[in-house]
């Protein structure tokens, strides 16, 4: 079944039968998918007028929810490697909501251009050795003071259940990936089936003191 749903490439897994995958997600969340994703929108901190990016947007389920909060004065973009999913999402786009084919490791978007970046159920599709590059790209396009929300199925993020030396529980891969590129993690927690982190890109680069008046 997974071969019908997914295609493997050098940059990760691309969902082919995205509509069937959507149905499966509804079943996996046992009817709670809408409530879970509404909670993700709240955790992301998106506000009216914000610019937001949804990485791994698939057919735009979460992207449209982010756009509903950002409102007509906001700008929300969904990026996904699946051309059929993006074509489907574009059919239901509205003003202020755009979709583009692309991968997290090379977003092709301007520096510091988004108030909010979200990435849900996408990290585990990326090759493990490319996840750091993906987080570096998300950091690059996040505005100073902007927020990152990532959520995923925790067991799928671990490579053979590896643990940090001396740790009694598995490391939090998303936290480690986010902090390694410069984000400051504000909170982490659990949702049904998912673990999430909320992080902020600091106003000042690491190691740079704030500029003060004379």
Q: Under CATH, which number does the domain 2-200 receive?
A: 3.40.50.150
The separation between CA 179 and the C-alpha centre of its own chain, rounded to angstroms, equals 15
Per-residue pLDDT tens over the stretch 136-189: 999 999 999 999 999 998 765 655 444 444 433 345 889 999 999 999 999 999
Beta-bridge mates of residue 76 = 52, 97
Comparing 214 with 28, the larger pLDDT belongs to: 28
Task: Share the mean pLDDT of the chain.
Answer: 82
User: pLDDT value at position 208?
Assistant: 53
Share of the chain above pLDDT 70, in %: 72
Q: Average the pLDDT over 110-135 and give the result.
A: 94
Residue 185 phi/psi, 5-degree rounding, is -75, 125
Parse the chain into domains and list their residue ranges. Answer: 2-200
Q: Average the pLDDT over 81-97 and give the result.
A: 91
User: pLDDT value at position 165?
Assistant: 46
Give the largest Cα separation in the chain, rounded: 66
Smallest Cα–Cα separation from 113: which of 146, 136, 70?
Answer: 146
Per-residue pLDDT tens over the stretch 29-47: 556 778 889 999 999 999 9
Q: Average the pLDDT over 64-69 and give the result.
A: 96
User: pLDDT value at position 169?
Assistant: 39
Can you spell out the DSSP letters for the chain? Answer: -HHHHEEEETTEEEESSHHHHHHHHHHHTTT-HHHHHHHHHHHHT--TT-EEEEET-TTSHHHHHHHHHH-TT-EEEEEES-HHHHHHHHHT--TTEEEEE-BTTB----TT-EEEEEEES-GGGS-GGGHHHHHHHHHHHEEEEEEEEEEE-HHHHSSTT---TT-SS---HHHHHHHHHT-EEEEEEEETTEEEEEEE--SS-TT-PPP---
User: pLDDT value at position 153?
Assistant: 86
Flag whether pLDDT at 6 surpasses 70.
no
Cα angle, residue 37 at apex, residues 91 and 96 outer, rounded to 5°: 40
Comparing 23 with 41, the larger pLDDT belongs to: 41
User: pLDDT value at position 152?
Assistant: 92
Flag whether pLDDT at 120 surpasses 50.
yes
Flag whether pLDDT at 11 surpasses 50.
no
């Amino acid at each position: 079944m997974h071969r019908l749903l997914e295609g493997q490439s050098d940059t990760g897994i691309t969902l082919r039968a995205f509509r069937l995958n959507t149905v499966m997600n509804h079943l996996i969340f046992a009817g709670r998918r809408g409530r879970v994703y509404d909670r993700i929108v709240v955790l992301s901190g998106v506000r009216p007028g914000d610019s937001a990016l949804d990485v791994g947007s698939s057919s735009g389920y979460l992207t449209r929810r982010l756009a509903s909060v950002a409102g007509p004065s906001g700008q929300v973009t969904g990026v996904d490697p699946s051309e059929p999913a993006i074509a489907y999402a574009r059919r239901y786009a509205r003003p202020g909501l755009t979709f583009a084919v692309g991968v997290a490791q090379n977003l092709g978007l301007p520096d510091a251009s988004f108030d909010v970046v979200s990435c849900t159920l996408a990290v585990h599709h990326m090759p493990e050795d490319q996840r750091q590059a993906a987080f570096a790209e998300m950091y690059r396009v996040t505005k100073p003071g902007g927020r990152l929300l990532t959520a995923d199925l925790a067991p799928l993020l671990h490579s053979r259940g590896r643990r940090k030396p001396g740790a009694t529980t598995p490391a939090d891969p998303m936290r480690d990936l986010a902090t390694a590129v410069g984000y400051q993690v504000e909170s982490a927690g659990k949702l049904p089936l998912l673990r999430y982190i909320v992080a902020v890109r600091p106003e000042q680069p690491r190691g740079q003191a704030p500029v003060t008046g004379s």
